[in-house]
Structure formats: structure tokens, C-alpha cells
Structure 1
Amino acid sequence: MSQLNIKKKEISPEIFVYILDGRLDENSFTDFKSEVIDPPHPNAVILNLSELKYISSSGIRSIFELRYKLLNDGKKLFLTEASDKVIQIFNLLGLWKPFTHFITETEAIEAAK
């Protein structure tokens, strides 16, 4: 059983929000890949990290994989509501700057329009 719950909200046909709840690591990577990375994407994908309790280097790699796929298709990825703890892990690895992060989901949705 995965330690990651993923809730998808379709804001519009062009904007999807995925709320990640739990742990994004090597054990939950397969679920993240099948539910978020592999399906067709709208023009903008928002990852709401407010409920993310833990992220490993494998989890960060999976977010980079999503980012790479979206950018290659001319689409956008936004992160929102990441906790200080999650941001710190990205920063420790020097991997926070490539992402666009918003304090609130509402701000990310507005930017995606």
C-alpha cells in the first residue's frame, strides 16, 4: 500500500491540480508516475505540496521527470504550498530554483491561466 495519496482537481480543461498527501519516495514513485507523470496533461499542472510529509531524492527526481515531460511539451509546472521542511530538502540538494513556487494554490491557479 502506498504511503502517498494523490487527489486530482480539474480546475479547467487546461489546469489540473494534484494534491500530494503523505510521502513521496521510492515506495510511492510508481503511484506518482502512473497517476501524475504518465497520463496526458493540460497546459498547466500544479502540485499542491501542503500535505506532503516527506520527500526523498527519489521523490524530487520524480517531480523533475514531470517537469521535464511538461517542458518538452510546451506546458507548465507550478508548485504550491510547500512546507519549510520540503523546501529545505530541495535547497539542500540545490534543486529548488528551477521550480516556480507559489504560497497559495489560488496564486498558482491565477498564474496558470
Structure 2
Amino acid sequence: MSPILFPPIYLTQHALGEKALKNVFEPLHMCKQECLITTFQDVYFYTDSFEEAKDKMRQFAGTIRRPFAVRYNPYTESVDVLDSTRGIATVVSELRGDLCIVSDALKRLQLMERFEFQD
């Protein structure tokens, strides 16, 4: 039976056992690691927090040479490729709109706080 079909307990035992290497998560090293699909992985990577992993991935992505930029679009839950001035202008316009909404909300809260202190 393929290890992929094994219950998660076997994966956990393997990952925590002595056969598997455990390395600090470094994207540059991790991306060079062969991904095994018919057996358990030889190496597992860890970080102290999910935020640390996100930061390291962002830094790593910033080093990739490409003639375009990408951004995650939370409304469509997709990645937008920013490879034209029109596309970038659209994103800037959306961000300005979002900033107006947030700025308005902040002003309203500040007004409410002023009235609360005067009472």
C-alpha cells in the first residue's frame, strides 16, 4: 500500500521519527528539495509561526526575476498578473477606493469618540 494512503498517524510518526530530517524553513533550500509522491518525504521544514513562513515566502518571491508583478485579489480569490500600465492603474484605483472607505470609517470613529468624551 502506498504511504500516501496511510492514515495521518503514520505520516506523523515518520515526520517526528529519526529517519526524516527536520530543517528550518528557508524557501531557497526548500524549493530545491525533491518532492516525493510515492513515499514519505525525506525532509520536513518548520517555522516558529505561520507569520514567519509568510514573511519568508514574500521575501523569496521578491527575489524571483520576472517582467511582471502579481497580487492576490481577495474579491475573486485569484492571483492577478500586473503586466500592463492599464492593469496597474486599475489596481491603484481599487486601492484608492478601499482607502477612502477605511479613511471614512476612521473619521466616523474619531467623531464618535469625541462625543463620548464630551458627555
Normalising by structure 2, we get a TM-score of: 0.23
Bigger Rg, structure 1 or 2: 2
- For CA contacts below 8 A with separation 6 or more, give which structure has more relative contact order: 1
Which has the larger helix fraction?
2
| Larger strand fraction of residues | 1
